[in-house]
Structure 1
Amino acid sequence: MKIKYFYQQLTSHVSVILIAFLILSVLFSHYVEQFVYDNKTEELATYGQTILHDLDRNPRYSTNTLQVYEHVLNGRDIQYILFDEQSAIIYSTELKAPVIGLLSEDEWQEIKNGKTVTVKQDFKRFNEAVTFVLLPYVQNNQFVGGILLTSPIKGSREVISQMNTYLLFTMVLALAVALLLSWILSNFHGKRIKRLREATSLVAQGDYSVRIPSANVDEIGELAEDFNKMVEKLNVSMEEIQSLENRRRQFMADVSHELRTPLTTIRGIIEGMRNDMISESEKEKGFQLASNETMRLIRLVNENLDYEKIRSNQITLFKQDMQLVELLEIIKDQLEGVAAEKHNHILVDVEPDVIVHADYDRLTQILINITKNSIQFTDNGSIYLRGYVRDDMTIIEIEDTGIGIDPDDIEKIWGRFYKAIVSRTTNPYGEFGLGLSIVKQLVTLHNGTINVSSEQGKGTKFTILIPNY
C-alpha cells in the first residue's frame, strides 16, 4: 500500500507535536499541582508558626486572641486545633474529636519528636478532603502540645482545574496552528518532490533538457541541484554518444567504401589475367596495382588493430635514449617524396645533443602520422620538424603552413573516427580518421602530453612533450 509523502509528512509533524504537547501538558500539570499544594502547606505552616509564636510570648494564652486568629483564618477557609501533650484539645475552630484519633501512630511520634508533619491530600480522616499541617509546640525543649491546621482541597483543585483548562485550550490552539503549518510545509515539500519525480520521468523518456528550480536551503534543494548537474552530464554524454554513433556509422560506410575499392580492383586484375584480358605488357602494371591495393588493405587493417591494442593497453613500450636529430632526419627521408608531390618542403631544426627517451617504433609512428597530416593539409608550403629540451622534458614541434583547423574542431581531432573533411568523394586526407586518435594514445603511454594550436589559412602546430625518464 502506497502512502503519499504529503500524508507521511503531515502525520509525522502532527504526531511529534501532539506527543510533545501531551508530555509537556502532563509535566506542567504535575508541576502546577505540586506548586499549589506546596503553596498551601507553606501557608498553613506559616499561620501555625505565627500562632505558636504568639503563644510563646504569652504562655497564658487568651481565648480572644485565638478567636481573632479563627476569624482571620475562616476568611482563608482554614481550620485549626490547638492541643496539649496528651492530645487533649485546648482550642478548636471546628473539630471536637480527640486529636489522637485523627493522627496515625507515626505522625504522633514525629510531632512528639519535634518534627513538622505535612499531608498534601487526605480524603478519609476529616469530613472532607483536606490538606493539613501538624506543628509541634515546644517550650524549654519540652513537647507541650501542637497545632493542627487544615484547608479543604477543593480550593486547590479549582485552581488546578482552571490551570488545566487553560492548558488544554492552549494545546488545542497550538495544535490547530501546528496542523496548518504542517499542512503548508508538507504540501510545499510534496510539490518539490513531485517536480523531481516528473523531471526524472522525462529524463527516463530521453528528455535531457529538463531542469528544475534549485536552492541550497535544504537537502531537497541540494538534491535538485545535483539532479540538474546529473542531467547536464547525461546530456553531454548523450551528445558524445550520438556523435560517436554518427562517426561509427560514417566509419562503417568508409570501411565499406575503402575496402570495396581495393578488393574490386584486385578482383578485376585477377579476373582479367584468368581470362587473358590483360596483355603481357600490362601484366606488370596490373601486378603492381594489385600489390599497392593489397598494401593499402593491410595498412587499413593494421591501423584499426593498432588503435584497439593501444586503447586496451595491450602493447609494451621499449624505451631507450636516442638522438632526436637522427629520428627526425629519418622521418624527413621517408616522407620527402610524398611532400614533393604537393610541392612542400620538410625542414629539420634540432640540436645534435638533444636526446629523447622513448620507444623508437612508436615515436616514429607518432611523428609519421602527424607529419603526413601536415603534408596532406599543406600545398606549396613548408613542414618544420623541431626539437629541444626544457625542464627534463623533450619537446618536439611539427608545424606546417597549411590550411589550418577550424577552432571548433581542434578538440574533436583526437576523437576516434573523426575526419576533418567528412565527404569521402572530396577527402584525399587519410583513410579512417584513426591516425590522431592513435597518436594521442601513444603519447599518453609515454607519460607525455600533446597540444595543438592552429589558425585557419596560416597553418597548424603540434607540440609533443615527453619526459626524459
Structure 2
Amino acid sequence: MKFRYLYQLLLSHTSVLIIAFMILGLLFSQYVENLVYENKVTELRSYGEKILSDLERPSPRRPLYLEEYSNLLHARNIDVITFNRQGEVSFSRGGVYPRIELSKEEWQKIERGETVPLKKDFGRFDQAVSLVIMPRIINDQLAGGLILISPISGSREMLSEINRYLLYIVLLSLAISLLISLFLSKLHVKRIQRIRDATSRVSSGHYDVRVPSSNFDEIGDLAEDFNEMVTKLQASKEEIDSLENRRRQFMADVSHELRTPLTTIRGVIEGIRNDMIPEEQKEKSFGLVSEETRRLIRLVNENLDYEKIRSNQVAITKVTLPLLDIFEVIKEQLDLQAEEKGNEIRVVADSGATVHADYDRLIQILINITKNSIQFTSGGTITLRGSSTGSESIIEIEDTGIGMDPEEIQSIWRRFYKADLSRTNNPYGEFGIGLSIVKQLVLMHEGTIDVFSEKGKGTKFVIRLPL
C-alpha cells in the first residue's frame, strides 16, 4: 500500500506544528500564571510595607488605621491580619481568623526578619489564597507580624480567560500553518512529479527533455543533475548514432575497396581459364593480378594496423634519433613517387636536431603524411622541416598542393574520409586510413599534430613530440 508523499509531508508538518504549539502553549500558560501570582504577591508586599510603616508611627489611632486599611483592601478582595509573637491573631476584619498556624520554617524566616511570600496556599484557609507574611520588628525584637491574604479565584478566572484566548490563537495559527504547509507540500510534490514525468520520457528514448532547475534547495540540485545526465545521455546517443553511421560507412567502403580488386582478379582468372586473353597479354594480366593482390594486402594491413593502434596493442619503444637522418630516409623512399608527379622533396633540418620516438612508427607517420602531400601536389615542392628545443621536437611537412577548406581539415582524421578520392586519383594504394593511423600514433607518443591549409595554396602538417 502506497502512502503518497503529499500526505507524508502534511502528516509530518502537522505533527511538528501540533507538538510545537502544545509546548509553546504550556510554556506560555505557565509563564502567565507565574507572572499573575508574582504580581499578586508583589502587590500584597507593597500594601504590607505601607501598613507596617504606618504602624511604626506612635499614634493612639493605630487600631483605626488597621480598620481603615482593612476596609480599603477588602474592597480589593484582600484581608489584613496581624498576629503577636505567640501566633495569636490581634486583628482581623470581623474576627474571621482567630489564630494563624505558621510552619517552623516560616517562623524561622519571620524571626530573621524575612518576608515570606506564598503564591498559592491551599490548606491553611477555607479557600486557596495568595498571601504574604511580613515580620513586625520593634527595637530589633520580633513583636509579631502582618499577613495579607488574597483569594486566587479571581486570578484563576483571569488565567482561564487568557488560556481560552490562547487556545483560539493556537487553533487559528494551526489552521493557517496547515494551509501554508499544504501549499508548500503541493509545490514540492509538483516539482518532483515534473522530474518523474521527465524520467519517464527519457526511459522512452526522448533525450531532449529538460526540467526547471535552481540552486534554492536539494530538489533544484536534483533537477540540475537530471538535466546534466540527460545532456550526457543525448551526447552518448549522438555518439552511438555517429559510430553506427561510421560502421555502416566503413562496411560500405571496405566492401567497395575489396570488390574492385577482387572483380579484377576474378575477371583475369576467368579470361585465362576460357582462353579469352591472348598469349601476349597474359604477362600483363598476371602483373595486374599481382598488383591488385598487393593492393588487397595493403588494405588489410592498414585496417589491422589501425585496429591494433586504436586498441593500444602496439608497443612503442622510444629512442633518440637525428631528425636529419630520418628525413633522408623518407626522401630516399619517396623520391621516385614524387618525380612521377613532377614534385621535389626538400629537407631542412638542423644537424643537431633530434626526436625521441619509436623509429618504425615515426617512419610510418612521416611516410603517410608525405604520400598525402605527393598525392595532392603536382609540379610543386614538399618540404620536410625539423627542429628541437629543450622540451620538444617540431616536425613540419609542407606542400604547395591543392590545399583544403577549413571544414575539410576537421574531417581528414576520420577513417576512410578520402576513400572516394583514392579510388580515382591515388595511384599509391592509399585508402584514406593513413591519417587516422597517423593521429593515433602521434597520440601514443604523447605528442600533438595540427594541420594548416588554404584552398589552392597548399597544406602544412605540424607535429610536436616531447623530448
Name the TM-score, length of structure 1 as normaliser.
0.88
Give the structure 2 partner of residue 16 of structure 1.
16
Structure 1 residues 95 and 413, CA gap change in structure 2 (3 angstroms):
farther
The answer as to whether partners of 2:369 and 2:397 remain within 8 angstroms in 1 is yes
AA of the residue aligned to 1:357 = H
Alpha-carbon deviations, 1:12-59, whole Å to 9, x = none? 333333332222222211111111111111111221222222222338
- Deviation string 1:244-284 (CA, Å, 9 cap, x unpaired) is 11011111222233234444544555666677766665554
User: CA 1:3/1:381 → structure 2, altered by over 3 Å: closer, same or farther?
Assistant: farther
- Note the C-alpha offset of 1:364: 0.8
Provide the secondary structure at the position in 2 that maps to 1:57.
coil
SS at match of 2:314: coil
Which residue of the partner structure matches residue 28 of structure 2?
A: 28
For residues 95 and 273 of structure 1, the distance between their equivalents in structure 2, rounded to whole angstroms, comes to: 154
Deviations 1:83-135 (Å, cap 9, x if unpaired)? 0011111111256344344x344434443443332222223332222112222
Change (3 A) 1:250 1:423: farther
Aligned to 1:347: 346
Residue of structure 2 equivalent to 1:190: 189
SS, match of residue 179 in structure 1: helix
- CA distance in 2 between counterparts of 1:299 and 1:46 reads 118
**What is the alpha-carbon distance in structure 2 between the residues aligned to residue 18 and residue 202 of structure 1?**
41
1:220-247 Cα offsets, whole Å, 9 max, x none, are 3333333333323332232222111101
Q: CA deviation at 1:466?
A: 0.9
Deviation at 1:441, TM superposition (A): 2.0
| Structure 1 runs not aligned, ≥5 long | none
In the alignment, the residues of structure 1 paired with residue 463 and residue 328 of structure 2 have an alpha-carbon distance, to the nearest angstrom, of 17
The CA distance in 2 between the partners of 1:32 and 1:420, in whole Å, is 93
Q: How far apart are the structure 2 equivalents of 1:233 and 1:412?
A: 23
- Check 1:450–1:289 CA distance in 2 against 1; reply closer, same or farther (3 A cut): same
Q: How does 1:11-410 map to 2 (within 5 A)?
A: 11-58=11-58, 62-93=62-93, 96-101=96-101, 103-266=102-265, 281-410=280-409
| One-letter amino acid of the structure 2 residue matched with residue 62 of structure 1 | R
Task: Answer whether contact 1:81 1:95 (CA < 8 A) is retained.
Answer: no
Task: Letter of the 2:417 partner, please give it.
Answer: K
Mapped partners of 1:301, 1:95: distance in 2? 130
> Percent identical across equivalent pairs?
58
> Using the alignment, how far apart are the partners of 1:33 and 1:175 within structure 2?
23
Deviates more, 1:288-297 or 1:434-443: 288-297
Say which is worse superposed, 303-312 or 31-40, in terms of deviation. 303-312
What's the offset of the Cα at 1:62?
1.3
Q: Is 1:445 aligned to 2:440, yes or no?
A: no
Deviation at 1:82, TM superposition (A): 0.6
| d(CA) in 2 for partners of 1:341, 1:8 | 84
8 A Cα contact 1:255 1:432, kept in partner: no
Aligned 8 A contact 1:80 1:94 in 2: no
- Residues 422 and 430, structure 2, Cα contact 8 Å, conserved in 1: no
Residues 310-344 of structure 1: CA deviation (Å, up to 9, x unaligned): 23333322222222122122222322333344444
* Counterpart residue identity of residue 38, structure 1: E
Alpha-carbon shift at residue 74 of structure 1 (Å): 1.6
Task: Work out the CA distance in 1 between the residues paired with 2:224 and 2:355.
Answer: 48
CA distance in 1, matches of 2:408, 2:222: 35
> Closer, same or farther in 2 for the Cα pair 1:455/1:94, shift >3 Å?
farther
SS at match of 1:99: coil
**Cα distance change, pair 154–173 in 1 and its aligned pair in 2 (3 A):** same
Q: CA RMSD for the aligned pairs?
A: 2.9
Between the aligned partners of 2:368 and 2:60, the Cα distance in structure 1 is: 131
Partner of 2:454: 455
Q: Is the Cα contact below 8 Å between 2:82 and 2:91 reproduced in 1?
A: yes
Q: Distance in 2 between matches of 1:48 and 1:286?
A: 140
Moved more, 188-197 or 54-63: 54-63
Change (3 A) 1:154 1:421: farther
Change (3 A) 1:200 1:295: same
Is the alpha carbon distance of 1:188 and 1:91 closer, same or farther for their aligned partners in structure 2, counting shifts above 3 Å? Answer: same
SS at match of 2:372: helix
| Count of aligned pairs | 466
Q: Which amino acid aligns with 1:41?
A: V
Deviation sequence 1:184-214 (CA, Å, 0-9, x none): 2222222222222222222222222222333
SS at match of 1:413: coil
